Amino acid sequence: MVKKLAILGSTGSIGISTLDVVARHSDKFSVVALAEGHDPVKLFEQIKKFNPKIVSVRDQEAAEKLKNSGTLNCKVVCGIEGACEVAAEPSADLVVSAIVGAAGLKPTWAAIEARKNIALANKETLVAAGPLVMRRVKEKGVKLIPIDSEHSALFQSLIGHNHSEVRRLILTASGGPFRDYSAEQLKSVTLEQALKHPNWSMGAKITIDSATMMNKGLEVIEARWLFDMPVEKVEAVIHPQSIVHSMVEYIDGAVVAQMAMPDMRGPIAYALSYPGRVESGTEFLDLTKFEKLTFSKPDLVKFRCLKLAYDAAKEGGSMPCVLNAANEVAVAAFLNKKIKFLDIPRIVEDVMSRHDKIEFSSLEDVFAADKWARGEAANYFF
């Protein structure tokens, strides 16, 4: 049986890799819905190749341009409402949630409400609204399969084991391009340097998050909710080679790890085909080509963003949402060369320090906290 996919964020790095896997297995997967927000030209190419029933674009202007760009056999919608319509497409068997940032929360929620199984690449959904989302997932009987390489590794390493016997979840991190920089060197980091990740090819926002190690902090919070573990049992270690994607340590001392070459098509293919496996296009791992695999503790003083994420996770309530929103604004400012690299953690920390935590009871509470934090962070450079 062919599994029908709706892809949120189809023109981003995860979306493109997902469609690469789909193209390799047209007998197993088909595309029924696509949503994108930044690259209508690439979306048009995807429409021609995969023939979806419905597509969503950024706004009405982009929708009109798409409609006038050629003969289309699909419905065109726009905005956040359009993305939600794509997420709830009745014919879809699986929704790939790959919109970057908090913008992915509402469409992912729409997919849950429509009782769609979800391949989750949008970590901010669980960072911002983890308790609400996981409760709704259980209520709707939805399967949530992680796409992030680290969470996919944990997911795979937990299969067949009793979660009560887990001692630690160990998330590996490349350390980004500045893992060997001194605190003094970080003061003069340029945007161009920060965008050169040594191991992974990712979108600009995630690449900067990797450079500050905020990405690992967000993943710690995501893992806390995804696997129902206290944050004290989720640890991050620096692993520059990015071969061991994450590990689970059990109470008897056994450590189960998942290894592969660094290529997002691997975890994507697993999420699409779960509980089976398909060829992904990823290069096969030859450990004899690696002289050593190294691991070290992250420097929480030098990489302040990771420490802030741990603080937010321990604080709970609305604090992780505020952390994420302030970070998104600060990263956007850095990408636009309005602030310096080390201003990112400074802004996030200051916004967090002025936030009065609340416990969320609805998505409206989440959106309110997110809006407040974005406004506060924007005050630094507008």
DSSP assignments along 225-285, one per residue: HHTT--GGGEEEEE-TT--EEEEEEETTS-EEEEE--S-THHHHHHHHHTTS----SPPPP
pLDDT band at 200 (very low <50, low <70, confident <90, very high): low
341-344's contacts with Cβ under 8 Å and 24+ in sequence apart are 341/186, 341/187, 341/189, 341/190, 341/194, 341/211, 341/212, 342/186, 342/187, 342/189, 343/380, 344/208, 344/212, 344/214, 344/305
Q: Which tops the pLDDT comparison, 315 or 381?
A: 315
The residue ranges of every structural domain in the chain are: 3-122, 151-378
Q: Percentage of the chain with pLDDT > 70?
A: 99
Q: Which of 144, 190, 204, 148 is nearest to 173 (CA)?
A: 148
How far apart CA 133 and CA 348 sit, in angstroms, is 24
Residues 6+ apart with CB under 8 A from 151: 123, 219, 222, 223, 226, 246
337-359: average pLDDT? 97
> Are the C-beta atoms of residues 322 and 369 closer than 8 Å to each other?
yes
CA distance 266 to 254: 25
End-to-end Cα distance, the chain: 53
The pLDDT > 90 percentage for the chain reads: 88
* Homologous superfamily of 3-122: NAD(P)-binding Rossmann-like Domain (3.40.50.720)
- Of 99-103, 124-128, 208-212, 305-309, where does mean pLDDT reach its minimum? 99-103
User: Would the pLDDT of 187 be above 90?
Assistant: yes
pLDDT score of 368? 97
Q: Pick 151-378's CATH classification: 1.10.760.10, 1.10.287.610, 1.10.1740.10, 3.40.1390.10.
A: 1.10.1740.10
* pLDDT classification of 262: cutoffs 50, 70, 90: very high
Angle at which helix 40-50 crosses helix 13-24, to 10 degrees, equals 20
For 25-34, write each residue's pLDDT tens digit: 999 999 999 9
Q: How confident is the model at residue 71 (pLDDT cuts 50, 70, 90)?
A: confident
Average pLDDT over all residues of the chain: 95
Strands 255-259 and 244-250 turn out to be antiparallel
At residue 78, does pLDDT exceed 80? yes
Q: What is the pLDDT of residue 9?
A: 96
Lowest mean per-residue pLDDT among 204-208, 250-254, 265-269:
204-208
pLDDT at 66: 86
Residue of 356, 361, 332 lying closest to 344 (CA atoms): 332
Whether residue 297 is predicted with pLDDT greater than 90 in this model: the reply is: yes
Query: What are the tokens at 322?
Result: 């505020």
Mean pLDDT of 47-69: 91
pLDDT value, residue 382: 66
> Where is average pLDDT lowest: 130-139, 200-209, 345-354?
200-209
Gap between the Cα atoms of 301 and 317, Å rounded:
24
Q: By three-state DSSP, how is residue 114 classified? A: coil
Of residues 336 and 382, more confidence is placed in 336
Question: Is a pLDDT exceeding 80 seen at residue 37?
Answer: no
- Report pLDDT for 201: 65
Which pLDDT value is given to residue 73?
Answer: 87
Is the pLDDT at 318 greater than 70? The verdict is yes
Instruction: Calculate the CA dihedral of residues 205, 206, 210, 215 and round it to 10 degrees.
Output: 110
